[in-house]
Amino acid sequence: MYSRFKALQEFGETELKQLQNSKVAVIGLGATGSAIAEHLARHGVDLVLFDRDYLEENDVYSSNIYTPEECEKSLPKAVAAENYLEKFTEVESFNESLNPETVEKLEDVDLMVDGTDNMETRFLLNEFSKKTDTPWIYTSAIAEKGYSMFLDSKCFNCVFEQVSPGALDTCESAGILRETSTTAASISAEKAVKYLTDKPPKETLDTTDGQSFEIESHGCEVCEYKNFDTLNSKKKVSSVCGENKFQIEKDFGEEAYESVKEAGNIIAENEYLVRAKLDRREIVFFHSGRAIVEAEDRGHAESIISETIGV
């Protein structure tokens, strides 16, 4: 199965064993995250997967591992990704957000890889990385530009602390060329393979068009003074993928699903969720106790929910 890998000059049986004894977390299973997860799974790397979103029609275009049928059914990305990737390796998946509580589930991984399109989650990962001495890889792809950065001794907050979450374009606003996201994913996956086989990659910001930038860690609140405000805040990231979608975590009860089904046009329903359209806005209730709502802001999302199900 791995003859092509073992024929490489720099890799062999030892490196293959190293990869197969490794565990990597992939956070966010959209265009970039799903591609990174597939690369690592086919090397036999064990995976811990996090994603709170569900599949939509555009995921057929963006990702290689999801089928049109799964997207039609609006399966949670974490569930669909595990269904496919468990053919190659051990997979543990979480159909929920990465937040200051759930991040504890990453305590025993060797490496964390970001596929989120979400700055708040990246700041959280950076703090967790500094707290636990676990390196991570930043990946992003917007329009026709993709970026990858391995971070071990360097610090994401030092580079991006001036950038406020939401100030950047997202795939929703600027689009994404699928080849750009898979190229960025390949660069990050290669860095992961090298790190896991004792060939640590350089801590540079690399782009899909072949540029490489040195980054400076000047010593900030996070890396120098170990002030982990995001980790300690217990704040839950509210927006999803930078879109006008907000997550409300609460156990709404079975009646809520009935109310949604009565009030709106059902787009999809499965054992994990019900997805409906209400006045041109999408609303999704997960049986695990949360909802994702298309809205202007968090308050608006809460009022849409209370109007719909009366809580």
Q: Which residues bind Zn ion (CB under 5 A)?
A: 155, 157-158, 220, 222-223
Helix (H) or strand (E) holding 19: helix 13-20
Least CB distance from residue 221 to Zn ion, whole Å? 7
Least CB distance from residue 196 to Zn ion, whole Å? 24
**Rounded Cα gap, residues 238 and 236, in angstroms:** 6
Least CB distance from residue 204 to Zn ion, whole Å? 16
55 vs 223 by CB, closer to Zn ion = 223
225 vs 310 by CB, closer to Zn ion = 225
Least CB distance from residue 122 to Zn ion, whole Å? 13
The neighbour count for residue 142, using CB atoms within 10 Å, is 22
**Rounded Cα gap, residues 237 and 292, in angstroms:** 12
Helix (H) or strand (E) holding 47: strand 46-50
223 vs 304 by CB, closer to Zn ion = 223
Q: Which residues, 6+ apart, have CB-to-CB distance to 270 below 8 Å? A: 73, 74, 75
Least CB distance from residue 100 to Zn ion, whole Å? 19
Share of the chain residues as helix, strand and coil, in percent rounded to the nearest 5: 40, 25, 40
123 vs 272 by CB, closer to Zn ion = 123
| Nearest residue to Zn ion, by Cβ distance, number only | 155
The neighbour count for residue 145, using CB atoms within 10 Å, is 16
> Do the beta carbons of residue 120 and residue 236 sit within 8 Å?
no
75 vs 155 by CB, closer to Zn ion = 155
